[in-house]
Amino acid sequence: MWKGSVVNTVGLVDGWNTLWGAISGVSPQFWTAVTVIGVALLVVAVIGFVWSKRTGRGNSQMLLWTIVIAALCAGPQALIPLVLKVVELLIDLVIALFNAIVG
């Protein structure tokens, strides 16, 4: 039987919060500008999509990728921790199943 140390949880969000605190603390004006650029990109993409849809040439694939890029620019304090939390929960589930099987 396996006699190693048992890990119960993973702390991906804590690591991200530490990293983001260090990054955003160095130049908060830069990250404010990135957020503004992300929001502007999103607005321009939606207006462009609506306009191209109106003329019969709408490309929803391009809109999807633009939304993803804009969200990464506009929301690193919310979006990335949310994704990391979901991954963290999945990893914790796998660890719990492994610990239940191994004992």
Residue 69: CB partners within 8 Å, gap ≥ 6?
Answer: 38, 41
- pLDDT value of position 4: 54
17: left (phi over 0), alpha (psi -120 to 50) or beta: alpha
Distance of alpha carbon 48 from alpha carbon 43, whole angstroms = 8
Which pLDDT does position 86 carry in this prediction?
Answer: 93
Q: What is the pLDDT of residue 90?
A: 93
What Å distances lie between residue 103 and 1, 6, 13, 92, 97, CA to CA? 9, 10, 27, 16, 10
What is the per-residue pLDDT for 1? 44
The ranges of the chain with pLDDT < 50 are 1-2
